[in-house]
């Protein structure tokens, strides 16, 4: 999918429009799984639109980001009650409280060591949890950094955004942390993903830019046509490009590995696009916080 052509949109409304779809991923069962940040639940949707909702044990748990784990379950952060959650594809759930009070877990990713790694927004820490629930925390060398999204890198480490420190972080499986400051002041990076080119691609919600950083720390930034678009989440596609949401501009964006940008207006105004994933059907699926899931395909693609 080259990101050129006419987009075809299909919106799927949820029963509770105030539930707040936020993070979204493809599960090991081939379905779409997403968090309901306001509804205190995790949901599963087939490609045909069949929906199952699994309420958590606390309505204020604020589930945010979720990811497939190495054990065949989905793991997710609970930023409201400071826990890590786990749900099987059959809907069986467990939760693991963090050792640090009010840690505010947000981003989460599977690591190369068979554990799950996550960020703690409020505590300036990176956490690690094994599939049996053992948790280790690693302090960052800076304060007020607001670590946000996280992804596995090509170098055996985990990479993450530091929203308030204006930097990208790297942590090894042993807990060694490195910080890479960004060139643009107040860039406020959020989403991050591993590109097919072996670099990490991220969005700068404060600066209206897309960033690229190689494992050696070399950074390049690509300004969006609308610097007030507030890009939020980003995901790589098999063609070497990346797709991203523009939360402030109500658009879907596409950037090639050379930095060529295309943008597509979403069909519903102010739909608040957040997480997105390239689905098993080749389409882009987006969580709209207004209470809908959006599927986007292209006339020359899927």
Indicate if the pLDDT at residue 302 is higher than 60: no
Between CA 221 and CA 107 the distance in angstroms is 22
pLDDT at position 15: 83
Single out the residue of 162, 174, 204 nearest to residue 112, CA to CA: 174
- Mean model confidence pLDDT for the chain: 96
pLDDT at position 16: 86
Q: Could you tell me the two tokens for 126?
A: 């990176």
> Is residue 82 classed as helix, strand or coil in its secondary structure?
coil
**Are 140 and 126 in contact, with CB atoms under 8 Å apart?**
yes
pLDDT tens across 47-72, in order?
999 999 999 999 899 999 999 999 99
Beta-carbon neighbour count of residue 165 at 10 Å?
21
Indicate if the pLDDT at residue 239 is higher than 60: yes
Beta-carbon neighbour count of residue 141 at 10 Å?
10
pLDDT at position 301: 52
**Are 222 and 261 in contact, with CB atoms under 8 Å apart?**
yes
pLDDT tens across 267-277, in order?
999 999 999 99
pLDDT at position 5: 79
Q: Where are the domains of the chain?
A: 7-298
pLDDT at position 17: 87
pLDDT tens across 119-172, in order?
999 999 999 999 999 999 999 999 999 999 999 999 999 999 999 999 999 999
**Are 279 and 26 in contact, with CB atoms under 8 Å apart?**
yes
Q: Give residue 91's region: left, alpha or beta (phi > 0; psi -120 to 50).
A: left
pLDDT band at 2; cut points 50, 70, 90:
very low
Average pLDDT over residues 178-207: 98
Average pLDDT over residues 77-104: 98
Domain 7-298, CATH number (from 1.10.3720.10, 3.60.20.30, 3.30.360.10, 2.130.10.10): 2.130.10.10
**Are 100 and 120 in contact, with CB atoms under 8 Å apart?**
yes
Between CA 109 and CA 148 the distance in angstroms is 12
pLDDT band at 178; cut points 50, 70, 90:
very high
- Catalytic residue among 38, 254, 262, 274, which? 274
H/E element holding 253?
strand 251-255
Single out the residue of 7, 37, 73 nearest to residue 296, CA to CA: 7
Is 274 noted as a catalytic residue in this protein? yes
Residue 8 half-sphere exposure toward CB, CA atoms < 13 A: 8
- The angle at the Cα of 247, spanning 15 to 293, to the nearest 5 degrees, equals 25
pLDDT band at 1; cut points 50, 70, 90:
very low
Average pLDDT over residues 212-219: 97
pLDDT at position 61: 97
């Amino acid at each position: 999918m080259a990101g050129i052509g006419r987009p075809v949109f299909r919106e799927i409304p949820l029963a509770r429009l105030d539930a707040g779809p936020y993070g979204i991923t493809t599960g090991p069962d081939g379905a779409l799984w997403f968090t309901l940040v306001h509804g205190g639940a995790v949901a599963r949707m087939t490609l045909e639109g069949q929906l199952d909702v699994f309420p958590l044990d606390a309505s204020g748990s604020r589930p945010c980001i979720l990811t497939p784990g190495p054990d065949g379950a989905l793991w997710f952060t609970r930023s409201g009650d400071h826990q890590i959650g786990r749900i099987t594809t059959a809907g069986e759930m467990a939760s693991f409280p963090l050792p640090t009070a009010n840690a505010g877990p947000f981003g989460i990713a599977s690591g190369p060591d068979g554990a799950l790694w996550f960020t703690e927004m409020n505590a300036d820490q990176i956490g690690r949890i094994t599939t049996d629930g053992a948790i280790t925390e690693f302090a960052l060398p800076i304060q007020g950094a607001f670590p946000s999204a996280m992804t596995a890198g090509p170098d055996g480490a985990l990479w993450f955004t530091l929203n308030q420190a204006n930097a990208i972080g790297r942590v090894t499986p042993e807990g060694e942390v490195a910080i890479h400051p960004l060139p643009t002041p107040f860039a406020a990076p959020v989403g991050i993903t591993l590109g097919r080119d072996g670099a990490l691609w991220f969005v700068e919600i404060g600066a209206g830019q897309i960033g690229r950083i190689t494992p050696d720390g070399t950074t390049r930034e690509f300004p969006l046509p609308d610097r007030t678009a507030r890009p939020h989440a980003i995901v790589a596609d098999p063609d070497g490009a990346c797709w991203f949401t523009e939360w402030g501009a109500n658009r879907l964006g596409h950037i090639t590995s050379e930095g060529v940008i295309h943008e597509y207006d979403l069909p519903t105004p102010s739909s608040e696009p957040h997480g997105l994933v390239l689905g098993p059907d080749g389409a882009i699926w987006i969580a709209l916080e207004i209470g809908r899931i959006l599927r986007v395909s292209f006339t020359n693609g899927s």
